[in-house]
Amino acid sequence: MSETRVQDAAVPEGAGLATTAEALYLINLLLLPGLAFLILVGIYLRRRRDAPPLALSHLQQTLSASLWAGALLVVVNALIIAAGGFGGVWTWVLVIIYFTVCHATLVLLGVVGLTKAMAGQCWRYPLVGRPLPAACPE
């Protein structure tokens, strides 16, 4: 019997931290809003000066996208209040539009970011992302 060995691909420096950042972004959107964001901010504040370019890129992208997601949530709540409050007739229309368009898009972008981080690639969130660091590997 012949034994087949699979060679482990070289893991780029910072891929683990990049994956953690993307996972926390998705956890913030889907499971533990607020708590996952605070953990992400804490990691960013601790590692922003010494993180490898790949990790720094994903930390910056997820933090920016999280802030945009929070801002969108505030805007939707303000629109609901302006349209008659949470008991108003437009409440569910705005909630469904928000979750169908904004929230689902942010989650989808997070999944793409997570796959890029796991592959050791830099990636910029469209519209809400920050510019990539110059040293970020392509």
Domain range summary for the chain, segments of one domain joined by +: 15-118
Does residue 88 have a pLDDT over 60? yes
* Res 24: pLDDT: 98
Residue 85 CA: distances (Å) to CA of 19, 99, 100: 39, 18, 20
Percent of the chain at pLDDT > 90 equals: 64
Spatial separation of the C-alpha atoms in residues 122 and 17, rounded to whole Å? 12
| 30/129: higher pLDDT | 30
Judge whether 7 and 132 are in contact, CB under 8 Å.
no
pLDDT of 4 above 80: no
Note the Cα 56 to chain centre separation in Å: 13
* CA contacts within 13 A on the Cβ side of 21: 34
Report the predicted TM-score, pTM, of the whole model to 2 decimal places.
Answer: 0.87
pLDDT in tens, 11-47: 789 999 999 999 999 999 999 999 999 999 999 999 9
